[in-house]
Every structure is written in C-alpha cells, then in structure tokens.
Amino acid sequence: MFNMVKRIGIDLGTANSLVYVEGKGVVLNQPTVVAVSEDDGKVIAIGQEAKDMLGRTPMNIVARRPMQDGVVADYTVTEAMIRFFLDKIMGSVRLLKPEVMVSAPAGVTSVERRAVLDATLSAGARTAYLIDESLAAAIGAGIPIAEPSGHMIVDMGGGTTEVAVISLGGIVVHETARVGGNKLDEAIANYIRKKHDLVIGERMAEKIKIEIGSAIPLDEIKTMEVKGRDAIAGLPKTVVVSSSEVTEAMQRHLEAMLSTIKSVLEKTPPELASDIADKGMVISGGTALLNNMPAFLAQGIGVPAHVAEDPLLCVVRGTGIAIENLDRFMRNIKSK
C-alpha cells in the first residue's frame, strides 16, 4: 500500500528530478520545472505539465527552474516540488512521514545544504538526509566504492558536471563545474542566433543537441531543419543547421568539462591515479549520452571512458540504495 512507504530517494536535478521508492525502484521522472502565477505566487503546474508551458505562458504565469547549477535557487518552489513528489507517491493524507534522502553536488556550501534539508522537511519528511551526487552516481553505476582502489566518476547533469575520485567508500578528490547539458543548449541557441539570425527556444536547442549534436566532429555530417523567429524581421523562419556547427557551438563548454577532469586527476594521489589509468573513468548523467562523449573524453585525458548503464538513473538509484542501507553509508551522509 502506498501510504506505508518509509524510505524515499530523490535526485533533485537541474533539468530532471527522479524519485526512488524503497522496494519499488525508480517510480517518477519529471522535468524540474514549476509554473508559478506572478499575481499571487501560487504554483500552477509542476514537472512535465510545467515544462510544456516553457516559452508559451501568458504574461502572468512564469515557468521556473527551481534548481540552478545543481543548487536550490528558489526555496519555496523547491519545497512545493518535493511536496508534489511525496503527495504523488504517498497521497496527501499520510499515516507515516517518510525518511527522504536527496542528492546534492559535492561542492555546495553548508547554507545550500541546509536549504535542501529544510525544504525536504517542510515538504513532509520525517527525517531528511543529503548525499553527495558523485557518491550516489558511483553507487548507482555499480562501482565497488568500498574497495581500497581508485575509481573516477564523472556525473554530467543538466546544471553541473561532478568529477570525483572515490576510494574506501569515500570521496578523495572532487570538483564541480557549473556547466552541463543546459549550458550546451544555451550555447547552441546563441550560436544559431549569431550565425543564422534565428531566435530559438531552449526546447528546440535541446532537440538539436540530441538529434545532430556530437562532442567530436562526425565523419558524415548530419543536417537538420530548424524553425524559429527571424532575429531581424521578427517573422517565422527556417534554416538548415549542420552537426559540425553544433559541435563548434558546444566546444567551449565541453573543454570546461575536460579541464575539470584534468584538474581532479592532477590532485589525485599517484596510487589512485594509476588505478584510474588502468580502469578508466565511468560517466553518468544525461549529458553522457551526447554522441561521441566517451571518445571526446578519452582523447582529451588519455584514459578510457565508459558510459554507465542507464546513465540518467545512476544518481537516483544510488540515492535509493544509500537510504535502503543507511548504516553502511552513514559516514558519507548529512542529516536533519
């Protein structure tokens, strides 16, 4: 029975939020978007319904992303979203308050951590826990984190790229780059505006990235018809965009991801670095699915890169496994 749910794991991502229920696995996957009425601040829609409103709302309704760069940008809206998830899973009348674990980027400040824990408690959790995103991604990707051996996880989300070296169940070195899938979409939209005088929305930019985007130039160039608004005349217009243009548009942000990985490797103790050179790195998160991403990273770092199984689910799965095995992971978890 739904009301008896006791433990829930939430991956509160910048682009998508996923929910894991003890004994059931991943039960929800919704865009992290909330539509709010400007007049009274009331939440009108959450998740997919709100995402469908992006760029299409009347003047008094704003579709917002409550998480920016992996952290809470709007406390009230984040709380409303967590409450929405809990209501959807357990019903609005709850016999028991659940224990909830949320993942957050490893580099967040204590103030940002507190904001996530407080929002979770206000939304109806009995106890709120916080786990570092990279640790959750490593657990969810099936990396044997307890071994006395170095493992590198690169979690490429919508708002951040988290890079961590893990050994003996803990994070040895980590860095967060506030660059992810959303920044790639933005770069594509800006490039098309500059080069083709065409204004497109973030949903179209994301579609271009998924359909013809590639981290390294493709041997066979792909093209796509893109519809938008003429930046000069203001009228509807269609242009043809090639995959090599998309690769060029994303290059600066892809290089930023690469330099974060290099920076983590430079700080990694030599014994662990040699383990990583042998095993390679594991990549997770939605941006890991960009065409040729493993080849781009392997080329830039000189270490093989492997995409985890179901990269989109690694963080939420790891968060769920951690809350189901609290005693095992307790030293890596903050709670309230």
Summarised one tens digit per residue, pLDDT across range 243-282 is 999 999 999 999 999 999 999 999 999 999 999 999 999 9
pLDDT score recorded for residue 36: 87
pLDDT at site 127: 94
CATH of the domain at 277: 3.30.420.40
Q: Which two tokens stand for residue 199?
A: 């204004």
Band of pLDDT at residue 5, cut at 50, 70 and 90: low
Could you tell me the pLDDT band of residue 4, with boundaries at 50, 70 and 90? low
Stretch 320-336: mean pLDDT, rounded? 87
122 and 207 share one domain:
no
196 and 326 together in one domain: no
Check pLDDT > 90 for residue 317.
yes
Q: What is the pLDDT of residue 1?
A: 40
Residue pair 297/305 in contact (Cβ under 8 Å)? The answer is: yes
In this structure, the answer to whether residues 242 and 277 fall within a common structural domain is no
Among residues 223, 249, 275, the one where a domain terminates is 249
Q: What pLDDT shows up at residue 38?
A: 83
Q: Is the pLDDT of residue 239 over 50?
A: yes
Q: Point out the domain boundary residue: 198, 222, 249.
A: 249
User: Cα–Cα distances in Å, from 251 out to 22, 172, 244?
Assistant: 40, 29, 11
pLDDT tens, 28-78? 999 988 888 888 878 888 999 888 887 777 778 888 788 776 677 778 888
Structural domains in the chain (count): 3
What's the mean pLDDT in 1-30?
85
Residue 44 inside a domain? The answer is no
- Give start and end residues of each alpha helix (H) in the chain: 48-51, 75-90, 110-122, 133-140, 181-196, 202-212, 243-267, 270-279, 293-301, 314-324, 326-329
Q: Which helix (H) or strand (E) holds 17?
A: strand 16-21
| In a shared domain, residues 97 and 221 | no
CA separation for the pair 250, 326 (Å, rounded): 40
CA 272 to chain centre: 26
Residue 208: which residues within 8 A CB-CB, separation 6 or more? Answer: 188, 192, 200, 224, 226, 241, 246
Range of the domain at 267: 143-179+257-311
Would you tell me how many other CB atoms lie within 10 Å of the CB of residue 40?
7
Q: Is residue 94 situated within a structural domain?
A: yes
Q: What does pLDDT average to over the chain? A: 91
Residues 6+ apart with CB under 8 A from 328: none
The reported pTM is 0.90
What whole-number distance in Å separates Cα of residue 297 and Cα of residue 139? 22
Q: What pLDDT, on a 0 to 100 scale, did the predictor assign at position 70?
A: 66
pLDDT (tens digit per residue) in 209-225: 999 999 999 999 999 99
CA distance 6 to 112: 25
Average the pLDDT over 83-103 and give the result: 86
Rg (CA), the chain: 20
**pLDDT at residue 271 in the model:** 95
CA 38 to chain centre: 27
14 within some domain: yes
- Residue 2 in this model has a pLDDT that exceeds 50: no
Dist. CA 236–CA 227, nearest whole Å: 7
**Residues across the chain:** 336
Residue 98 CA to residue 8 CA, distance in Å, equals: 7
Judge whether 99 and 335 are in contact, CB under 8 Å.
no
Residues 202 and 87 both lie in one domain:
no
**Quick one: 321 and 222 in the same domain?**
no
Q: Of 233, 249, 265, which residue is a domain's last?
A: 249
Q: Is 41 a domain residue?
A: no
61 found inside a domain: no
Helix axes 202-212, 181-196, angle to 10 degrees: 100
